[in-house]
């Protein structure tokens, strides 16, 4: 798996420190995890970062995995030292998406894991051949199911059928010369809408190699009211032989 680009444009571009999206690679660079922290949450930036780092290190998602993530989040906060407003916000819980892709070069397959409305879009040329877990821009109007720091809100992860619904196996040998784009929701919604209305715009997205280029596209589309104002993260991945883009992490 090669990362041609990974970057983000904050909701407020002049305040990148407020960006609540996060991403992390595994040590062998064959797994990428991405998360979008919900803005109404308390310290969702930390929660998103914890989720991606944990999944990059350990993709065996399950009850013990989730409990360890929640415990790690709470260990980072001293509830007694918080202001009353911080305590109230903390008690409402923190929420985030989680999207991950893992490549097995030996089999030519990629396994996706997804909770929430961050999306993976598989493109051949300028054609979207698969989008997951959402494939219709209208579905971004629905309230997403998110992972929470409140244990009682994570019961859905133990429900019958969750494992099957949260994973997708792609045989990349069926899609030669394909590119996988992983995105948080505002950019994902825009991409799926453009795929139907102006497919040539996908070339603009696929050509991005610097964060300044992503910011220029996002800011312009927000101004034209074609993209929602939200933190927007993009990863562009290839699965053929070649070099990674300059400046990306290496093993």
Cα–Cα nearest to 36, from 105, 89, 114 = 114
pLDDT tens per residue, range 149-193: 999 999 999 999 999 999 999 999 999 999 999 999 999 999 999
pTM of the model: 0.92
Per DSSP bridges, beta strands 21-25 and 2-9 are unpaired
Provide mean pLDDT across the span 21-42. 90
Note the pLDDT of residue 242.
Answer: 67
Note the pLDDT of residue 139.
Answer: 96
Q: SS3 for 122?
A: strand
Provide mean pLDDT across the span 56-80. 88
- Let me know: does 136 contact 155? Beta carbons within 8 Å: no
Work out the mean pLDDT of the chain and round it to a whole number.
91
Note the pLDDT of residue 251.
Answer: 36
Token pair of 32, please?
A: 């990428």
pLDDT tens per residue, range 134-153: 999 999 999 999 999 999 99
- Let me know: does 167 contact 112? Beta carbons within 8 Å: yes
Task: Flag the least confident range among 48-62, 76-90, 107-121, 168-182.
Answer: 76-90
- Let me know: does 31 contact 25? Beta carbons within 8 Å: yes
Please say if the pLDDT value at position 249 is more than 50.
no
Question: What superfamily would CATH give domain 2-238?
Answer: PPM-type phosphatase domain (3.60.40.10)
Please say if the pLDDT value at position 77 is more than 80.
no
Integer Cα distance of 247 and 79 in angstroms: 38
Token pair of 191, please?
A: 């991409």
Note the pLDDT of residue 218.
Answer: 98
Token pair of 24, please?
A: 């992390």
Cα–Cα nearest to 9, from 234, 194, 206 = 234
Give residue limits of the domains in the chain. Answer: 2-238
Note the pLDDT of residue 227.
Answer: 97
Integer Cα distance of 250 and 234 in angstroms: 18
Helix (H) or strand (E) holding 138: none
**Residue percentage of the chain with pLDDT more than 90:** 82
Cα–Cα nearest to 143, from 42, 38, 41 = 38
Note the pLDDT of residue 240.
Answer: 83
The band of 83, judged by pLDDT with boundaries at 50, 70 and 90, is low
How many residues are present in the chain? 251
- Let me know: does 182 contact 99? Beta carbons within 8 Å: yes
Note the pLDDT of residue 89.
Answer: 60
């Amino acid at each position: 798996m090669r990362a041609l680009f990974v970057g983000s444009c904050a909701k407020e571009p002049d305040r990148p420190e407020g960006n609540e999206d996060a991403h992390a690679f595994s040590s062998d660079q064959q797994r990428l995890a991405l998360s979008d922290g919900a803005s109404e949450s308390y310290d969702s930036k930390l929660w998103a970062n914890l989720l991606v780092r944990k999944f990059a290190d350990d993709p065996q998602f399950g009850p013990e995995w989730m409990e360890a993530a929640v415990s790690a989040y709470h260990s980072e906060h001293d509830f007694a030292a918080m202001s009353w407003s911080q305590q109230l916000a903390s008690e409402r819980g923190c929420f985030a998406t989680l999207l991950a892709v893992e490549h097995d070069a030996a089999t030519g397959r990629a396994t996706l894991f997804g909770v929430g409305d961050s999306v993976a879009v598989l493109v051949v040329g300028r054609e979207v051949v698969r989008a997951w877990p959402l494939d219709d821009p209208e579905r971004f109007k629905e309230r997403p199911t998110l992972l929470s720091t409140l244990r009682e809100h994570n019961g859905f992860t133990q429900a019958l059928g969750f494992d099957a619904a949260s994973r997708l196996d792609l045989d990349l040998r069926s899609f030669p010369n394909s590119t996988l784009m992983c995105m948080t929701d505002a950019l994902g919604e825009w991409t799926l809408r453009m795929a139907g209305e102006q497919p040539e715009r996908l070339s603009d997205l696929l050509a991005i190699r610097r964060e300044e280029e992503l910011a220029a596209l996002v800011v312009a589309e927000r101004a034209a009211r074609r993209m929602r104002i939200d933190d927007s993260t993009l990863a562009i991945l290839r699965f053929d032989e070649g070099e990674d883009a300059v400046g990306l992490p290496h093993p």
